[in-house]
């Protein structure tokens, strides 16, 4: 293990770090006028980082040669898979931003830089193989995210969202740190391999407490029930491009991190955390579905929908098999496509003065005034509900297949039955758009980038997406295999 190899393994992070520092200087001297240029360069940096990550993913990198810095960091296929999704999500949240912020004259030069910094943090989260790396990555992402949530300084809701996110995020970090310190105290090491080795022959009570606290902290980050309450407020208050980011990249990062901690650090003690995950999964599915029913704001609805989807993904983790992890990773990819499309859609809902329309009742009869938009949103809703032949069905199908194959039939049956509750509120959106008389509020011109992203994601989630199953399934399998080789 030499430094050159370590540095080569973290090439994507280096690219993004250097790019963000340079762009920060450009921002300092260029001011807000340079914001668009900086955005373009930031997207280019994310694309470059994605290209650097690709070989490890396609080549199925795993094992010891992927360790960097003496086991602090791991650039394997699993991390690469998550990073690609994170970089795509971050790039999308940059692309959709200018049109939104321009109306408030708030397209500030710091926005792309903060997104880049968050992306670096998220990359570290998914590559962490040590509690310390994990925490640094998490905080690096979170600090950038707190600022982003409050980015629209003139808007009271945005400031509120930033504050709520900060206070609750700090609480979660505290819980996580407490769990980590207990784990370190009982395992005597912060590395995942070491923790796994020390717990191979049973779990002491103290270590069990540590494990519970670690999972509680992580549940905050993935907004799983019962630690979900910040999600609707933050999603609603944060500027919509930032919400696009929150709904996708940090979810992927925190989900991948949870998988890595669960499998690599506590893999031998799966029975200890499986019940936590099973509860969190079912509770998230049910609470997410029930909570969404009474929402009239589309962003809050999407927040509950994300809680609901997290529940479905956790079903894959609860099984604790490579098949389950692979299913989760596949689901994450579909989830990113659906969320990105959904938020691009929300950004396109503007009235004639360019103000965002977030109220569900104002979208009434959209299918008659804006048929294309309505069709796109209807596809996303049916996909989120998991109705075949929309591609969203395949994600649910895979996690429940993993659950059935893993012998957890009751979990699969309950989860599927609860998914019917969720279908109700997705149908509500379709009903409002297609069955109600037109309110004729949505009249604004749509940005070309929003359109492109919506079309792109609709193509992925349409039945055409099934042609991706072989290729994406193979990648997800490779990534999942990489996670399990460490055991």
Contact residues: other proteins, CB under 8 A: 367-368, 371, 382, 387-389, 393, 397-398, 400-401, 404-405, 409, 412-413, 416-417, 419-420, 423-424, 427, 430-431, 434-435, 466-467, 469-470, 473-474
Length of the chain: 487
213 or 394: CB nearest other proteins: 394
How many helices (H) and strands (E) are present in the chain, helices listed first? 21, 2
> In the complex, what is the shortest distance from the CB of residue 323 to other proteins, in angstroms, rounded to a whole number?
11
Distance CA 431, CA 434 (A): 5
* Shortest Cβ 303–other proteins spacing (Å): 23
CB of 421 to other proteins, least distance (A): 9
Of residues 103 and 474, the one with the C-beta less far from other proteins: 474
Cβ closer to other proteins: 36 or 368?
Answer: 368
What DSSP character marks residue 229?
Answer: T
Strand partners, 73: 68, 128
CB of 411 to other proteins, least distance (A): 10
Smallest separation (angstroms) from other proteins to the CB of 412: 5
* Dist. CA 402–CA 69, nearest whole Å: 35
Q: Which is nearer to other proteins, 70 or 435 (CB)?
A: 435
Closer to other proteins by Cβ: residue 356 or 367: 367
- Would you say 139 or 405 has its CB closer to other proteins? 405
Q: How many CA atoms lie within 13 A of 53 on its CB side?
A: 32
* Residue 258: C-alpha distances to residues 214, 221, 285, 390, 422 (Å): 9, 9, 18, 28, 24
**CB of 310: closest distance to other proteins in angstroms?**
19
Nearest distance in Å: CB 322, other proteins:
15
- C-beta of 416: minimal distance to other proteins in Å? 4
Nearer to other proteins, 12 or 386 (CB): 386
The CA distance from 382 to 305, in Å, is: 12
Please, what's the b/e burial string for 438-462 (b: 16 or more CB within 10 A of its CB; e: otherwise)? ebebbebebbebbeebbeebbebbe
| 241 Cβ contact partners less than 8 Å away, ≥ 6 residues apart | 93, 94, 96, 97, 100, 101, 343, 347
Nearer to other proteins, 157 or 368 (CB): 368
* Burial bucket for residue 397 (CB in 10 Å: 0-12, 13-18, 19+): middle
Q: What angle do CA 320, 326, 328 make, to 5 degrees?
A: 80
Shortest distance, position 469 Cβ to other proteins, whole Å: 5
With contact defined as beta carbons under 8 Å apart, do 347 and 340 qualify? no
- Tokens 């300092």: give the residue: 28
CB under 8 Å to 130, separation ≥6 — which residues? Answer: 71, 72, 73, 190, 191, 192
Beta carbon nearer to other proteins, 179 or 324: 324
């Amino acid at each position: 293990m030499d430094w050159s190899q370590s540095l080569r393994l973290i090439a994507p992070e280096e690219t993004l770090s250097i790019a963000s520092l340079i762009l920060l200087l450009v921002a300092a001297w260029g001011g807000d006028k340079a914001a668009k240029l900086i955005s373009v360069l930031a997207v280019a940096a994310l694309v470059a980082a994605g290209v650097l990550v690709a070989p490890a993913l396609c080549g199925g990198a795993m094992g010891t040669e992927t360790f960097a810095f003496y086991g602090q960091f791991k650039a394997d296929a699993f991390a690469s898979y998550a990073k690609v999704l994170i970089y795509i999500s971050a790039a999308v949240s940059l692309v959709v931003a200018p049109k939104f912020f321009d109306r408030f004259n708030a397209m500030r030069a710091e926005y792309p830089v903060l997104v880049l910094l968050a992306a670096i943090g998220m990359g570290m989260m998914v590559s962490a193989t040590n509690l310390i790396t994990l925490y640094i990555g998490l905080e690096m992402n979170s600090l950038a995210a707190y600022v982003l949530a409050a980015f629209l300084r003139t808007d009271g809701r945005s400031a509120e969202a930033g504050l709520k996110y900060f206070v609750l995020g700090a609480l979660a970090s505290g819980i996580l740190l407490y769990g980590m310190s207990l784990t370190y105290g009982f395992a005597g090491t912060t590395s995942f391999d070491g923790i796994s080795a020390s717990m191979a022959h049973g779990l002491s009570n103290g270590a069990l407490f540590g494990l519970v606290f670690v999972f509680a902290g992580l549940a905050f980050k993935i907004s799983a029930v019962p630690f979900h309450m910040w999600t609707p407020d933050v999603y609603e208050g944060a500027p919509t491009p930032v919400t696009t980011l929150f709904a996708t990249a940090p979810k992927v990062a925190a989900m991948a991190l949870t998988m890595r901690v669960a499998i690599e650090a506590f893999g031998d003690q799966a029975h200890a955390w499986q019940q936590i995950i099973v509860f969190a999964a079912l509770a998230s599915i049910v609470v997410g579905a029930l909570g969404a029913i009474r929402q009239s704001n589309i962003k809050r609805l999407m927040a509950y929908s994300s809680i609901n989807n997290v529940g479905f993904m956790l079903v894959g983790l609860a099984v604790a098999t490579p098949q389950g992890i692979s299913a989760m990773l596949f689901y994450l990819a579909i989830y990113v496509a659906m969320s990105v499309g959904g938020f691009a859609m929300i950004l396109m809902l503007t009235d004639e003065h360019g103000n965002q329309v977030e109220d569900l009742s104002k979208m009434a009869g959209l299918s008659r005034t804006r048929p294309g938009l309505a069709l796109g949103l209807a596809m996303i809703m049916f996909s989120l509900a998991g109705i075949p032949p929309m591609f969203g069905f395949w994600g649910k199908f895979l996690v429940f297949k993993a659950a059935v194959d893993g012998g957890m039939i009751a979990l699969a049956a309950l989860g599927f039955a609860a998914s019917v509750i969720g279908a109700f509120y997705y149908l509500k959106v379709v009903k409002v758009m297609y069955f109600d008389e037109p309110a004729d509020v949505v009249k604004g011109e749509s940005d070309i980038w929003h359109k492109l992203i919506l079309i792109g994601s609709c193509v992925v989630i349409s039945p055409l997406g099934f042609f991706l199953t072989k290729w994406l399934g193979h990648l997800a399998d490779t990534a999942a295999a990489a996670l399990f080789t460490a055991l």
